[in-house]
Amino acid sequence: MACAGCSVKSKDGTPVGCRSNGSCSTGGCNRLNTYDWLSTMDIQDVESYNIIEVTFKNGSRKGYYVNQMQNRTSTGDMVVVESSAGYDVGRISLSGDLVRLQLKKRRLKEDDLMHRVLRRANERDLEKLDEARGLEYPTMVRARAIARTLDLDMKIGDVEFQGDRRKATFYYIADGRVDFRELIRHFAKEFRVKIEMRQIGARQESARIGGIGSCGRELCCSTWLTDFKSVSTAAARYQNLAINQAKLSGQCGRLKCCLNYELDTYMEALEKFPDNADRLKTEAGIAVLVKTDIFKGIMYYAYEKDGMRGKHHPLSLARVHEIKELNGKGQFPTDLVDLQSLIDSDSEPELDFDDDVTGVIELPPEEKKRRRRNRGRGRNQNQRGDGGNRSNRNQSGKGKGSPSGRAKDAARNEAKPKPNPQNRTPKDGNKRGATNAPKGRNPRKGGGGRGNRTPGNKK
């Protein structure tokens, strides 16, 4: 694809973006290219074809010319060709027998080609072409201003000067026919060249200007797409796309051409789906079709009651065909989902121990997590104490959360003396309650404070 630097030309007329001097084998310096693979092979053509394909303005326009000096030019050379008024300068993009196939594709006859290749372009021709390309953008801006002053309902999208700067082609888009006779007089007086007005569509304008699409790549119309087919909203409906004009429209304002790329695949897949299957009747009620997964072959139905839809039930195509046949006979199944299929799905799968490499039976993931969580909860309950002797709690095996444990904790807390915050000592490494213990109690023999510790238990 064309790089951003291809539009910037050096003094000799070669592109400076990819440093390939306009003759890269992949044709990345032009748009709408055809890869000339014959020119890269060391094969001499015995019967050379005397018609070549020439591109102008980085591939925005192509033409076919009779080449009478086959041995002097090759693919990638800049040549001077004849035109209706004067001459033009372009680049050879295709030569040899591949041009014969392109003429057949475009339905052109060799006898209808009148213009010839004059010579290879010299430095003076390339300088004049570079000057002509530099005048195109200011000319387009001025032409739009003149058209606005004349109140013409048209938009000038691009301007292309001929290589000899004698002729300028103005490409415009309009909803209908435009009387631009007065506009041509103003253009001829302002630009002093021969004027040609050419009306194009919105897609052709987008192809000439180029840009980046929503997919992140260059526009298809400016890189490889040559024929523009009509795109309708039915293509989006068949592909289950939301009818959103902002998302379905391209930079040209029309529906995206890529909507037609996968349409045939969707149409082929839709042939397997039943017709008139929007509503299914069962004993539980009437089910309405909500959505369809075309490639997976699944149709989602939901029961509709009082204008509200319930749970979505995925049904296979075989099940939908079965219910349709029963409804056609006047019979109604019990439910959308077959009961036998539910029984088969609820049955536990049999474990195959022959394929087990490790020789260890592993539990299912959910059961393994549940058992690990219970084991961790019991460990935490055994480690938590109630302020007294922890060894007694470990021996009893009752956690803090049991009813008997909560009753004992409440009785023990009532027997504890409430600590006085004024008698607290700073945290200097002394034991809590050693100096401020109540009278008549030996702090080393326990008594109900937090600092009392039994032998073998650490703080």
Give the CATH number, domain containing residue 177: 3.30.300
Same domain, 148 and 113: no
The reply to whether 366 falls in a domain is: no
Task: Please give the residue range of the domain that contains residue 311.
Answer: 279-344
At residue 376, φ and ψ (nearest 5 deg) are -70, -35
Contact criterion met (CB below 8 Å) for 127 and 135? no
**Is residue 87 located within the same domain as residue 193?**
no
Q: What is the pLDDT of residue 345?
A: 52
Interatomic CA distance for residues 409 and 388, integer angstroms: 9
Calpha distance 223→111 (Å, rounded): 30
Q: How far apart are the first and last CA of the chain?
A: 74
220 inside domain: no
The domain boundary, picked from 270, 293, 319, lies at 270
Domain-embedded: residue 165: yes
Question: Does the residue 43 lie in any domain?
Answer: yes
Cα–Cα distance between 406 and 413 in angstroms, integer?
Answer: 11
Looking at the structure of the chain, the number of domains it has is: 4
- Whether 32 and 140 map to the same domain: the answer is no
The pLDDT of residue 192: 92
Out of 207, 224, 253, a domain closes at 207
Distance of alpha carbon 305 from alpha carbon 433, whole angstroms: 71
**pLDDT in single tens digits along all 459 residues of the chain:** 444 444 444 555 555 555 444 444 444 555 676 677 776 777 666 667 889 999 998 788 889 999 886 657 888 889 999 998 889 999 998 888 888 888 988 888 888 888 999 999 999 999 999 999 999 999 999 999 999 999 999 999 999 999 999 999 999 999 888 888 899 999 999 999 999 999 998 888 888 888 888 888 888 888 888 788 889 889 998 888 888 888 899 988 899 999 999 999 999 888 888 888 888 888 888 888 888 888 888 999 988 887 777 888 888 888 888 888 888 888 888 888 775 455 455 555 554 544 545 555 555 565 555 555 555 555 555 445 444 444 444 444 444 445 555 655 665 665 555 555 554 544 444 444 444 444 445 545 444 444 444 444 444
Query: What pLDDT does 185 receive?
Result: 92
Residue 425: what pLDDT? 47
| Angle ∠(268,272,276) on CA atoms, nearest 5 | 115
Q: Do 53 and 113 fall within a single domain?
A: yes
**pLDDT score at 248:** 92
Residue with tokens 């050693």: 434
Q: Is 172 helix (H, G, I), strand (E, B) or coil?
A: strand
Instruction: Take residue 196 and report the two structure tokens written for it.
Output: 């040609």
Confidence (pLDDT) at 146: 94
* Residue 137 sits in the same domain as residue 241: no
Please report whether residue 355 resides in a domain. Answer: no
Report pLDDT for 101.
87
Are the CB atoms for 391 and 456 separated by under 8 Å?
Answer: yes
Question: Coil, strand, or helix at residue 98?
Answer: helix
Residue 229 and residue 260 in contact, taking contact as beta carbons nearer than 8 Å: yes
CB neighbour burial string for 94-120, b if at least 16 within 10 angstroms, e if fewer = bbbebbeebbeeeeeeeeeeebebbee
82 and 146 co-located in one domain: no
Whether residues 144 and 110 fall in one domain: no
State the residue for tokens 């099940």. 319
Instruction: Tell whether 299 and 242 lie within a shared domain.
Output: no
In a shared domain, residues 168 and 253: no
Instruction: Give the C-alpha separation, 273 to 293, whole Å.
Output: 11
pTM (2 d.p.): 0.59
Among 77, 95, 121, the domain boundary falls at 121
- Flag whether 212 is in a domain: no
- Tell me: do 103 and 8 sit in the same domain: yes
168 & 184 share domain: yes
Question: Which of 348, 327, 345, 325 lies closest to 337, judged by CA?
Answer: 345
Phi and psi dihedrals of 353, rounded to 5?
-85, -10
Q: Are residues 60 and 107 in the same domain?
A: yes
Whether 408 is in a domain gets the answer no
In a domain, residue 397? The reply is no
What is the pLDDT at residue 366? 59
